[in-house]
Amino acid sequence: MRFSPTLQALRAALLTVALLGAAVSPCRAEGLEGRFEVRSADLELAGGVYHLNARIDLPISDAVRRGLNEGVPLTLEVDLDVERVRQLLPNSRVAELTQRYDLQYNAVSARYILRNENSGQQQSIPTVDAALEQLSEVRSLPVLDKALLHSDRRYEASVRARIDYGRVPFTLRLLMFWVNEWHRESDWYTWTLQP
């Protein structure tokens, strides 16, 4: 079929746009892999205070491990939400807590520094596996005073984990909104809490 010069020019323009789109699409970098979730969680009463124990599956890929070894920080946030269950009305929030951990490799000391951002405590860990193992376990984290809960009411506790890989300036995040490899968020892990 023969086309007029106008149609040929339009056809060439459309083809160019299609090729450009195809060239841009493979630019995505590798992201975190695997399922990121809260495997288990519970609140343990000790000394009149509820302590949080949680186990989190961290889908750390080899690329992220290499990045950690190069000095890219990894931040884990654990959100705890305790709500009183009501029948006809929406649940009312009793307690809300976000625990933030920061894992970063110190190139000078050649050790991994795991820092509790809430308390300021930090640990020096020699290997990345030990550091990740440490990060995936929340042990006896005091979160709630028993006095805030009433024994004759029913409560729901939910835990969620969020992980941020790297420190990307917010403006860059705006620009790179389509790249989501450095931020993951697990589903809520919810269980019933009976004081």
Partner 1 sequence: MDAAALTRKYGSTVLGSLGVGLWLVALLLLASAAQNSQAFDRWLPWILLVNISGLLTLLVLLAGKLYQLVKDFRRHVPGSRLKGRTVAIFSVLAVAPILVVYYFALQFLSRGIDSWFEIEVSQGLKDTRELSHAALEVRVREFLQHTQVVAHELSGLTDFNLFSTLERERRDSGALEFTVVGAPTQIIATSSDRPMDTLPAPATDEMMLQVRRGRPYVSLDTDATGGYVIRAAAPLDAGPNAPSHVLIALYPVPQQLSQLADTVQRSYTQYANLVQLRRPLESTFVLILTFVVLMSLIAAVYGAFFAAQRLVQPVQDLIAGTRAVAKGNYDTRLPLPSRDELGFLVTSFNDMTKRLSRAREETRRSQQAVEAERAGLAVILARLSTGVVSLTPDLIVRTANQAASAILGIDLEAAVGARFDESINDGVLFTHFLAAVKARLQEEQLDWREQIELPSESGKRVLMCACTALPNEVGGAPGVVLVFDDITTLLQAQRDAAWGEVARRLAHEIKNPLTPIQLSAERMRRKFLGSMNAEDAQILERATHTIVAQVEAMKQMVNAFSEYARAPDMHVARFDLNQLITEAVDLYRAQESTAELALLLDANLPPISADRVRIRQILNNLVTNSLEALEGKDGARIEIETQAVEDGPKHMAAIIVSDNGPGFQRDLIGTVFDPYVTSKPKGTGLGLAIVKKIVEEHGGRIEADNCRSGGARVRVLLPLSDAARGPAGREPRKSEHRRERV
Of the residues 43, 60, 80, 104, which one makes contact with partner 1 according to CB under 8 A:
104
**93 belongs to the binding site for partner 1 (CB under 8 A):** no
**174 belongs to the binding site for partner 1 (CB under 8 A):** yes
**123 belongs to the binding site for partner 1 (CB under 8 A):** yes
CB of 81 to partner 1, least distance (A): 15
Which among 72, 80, 37 has a CA at the least distance from the CA of 56? 37
Of the residues 28, 35, 139, 150, which one makes contact with partner 1 according to CB under 8 A:
28
Of 38-46, 49-57, 135-143, 175-183, the segment contacting partner 1 by CB under 8 A is 175-183
Shorter beta-carbon distance to partner 1: residue 104 or 186: 104
Q: Which residues contact 16 (CB under 8 A, 6 or more apart)?
A: none
CA 84 to CA 150: how far, in whole Å?
Answer: 10
Shorter beta-carbon distance to partner 1: residue 2 or 88: 2
Tally of CB atoms within 10 A around 29: 9
Shorter beta-carbon distance to partner 1: residue 28 or 150: 28
Q: Give the DSSP letter string of 100-126.
A: EEEEEEETTTTEEEEEETTT--EEEES
C-alpha pair distances (Å), 88 with each of 83, 94, 125, 154: 14, 17, 50, 14
CA 52 to CA 142: how far, in whole Å?
Answer: 6
Structure tokens, 98: 């976000």
Of the residues 61, 91, 122, 136, which one makes contact with partner 1 according to CB under 8 A:
122
Q: Which residues bind partner 1 (CB under 8 A)?
A: 4-7, 9-10, 13, 16-17, 20-21, 24, 27-29, 67, 70-73, 104, 106-111, 113, 120-126, 130, 165-168, 170, 172-179, 181-182
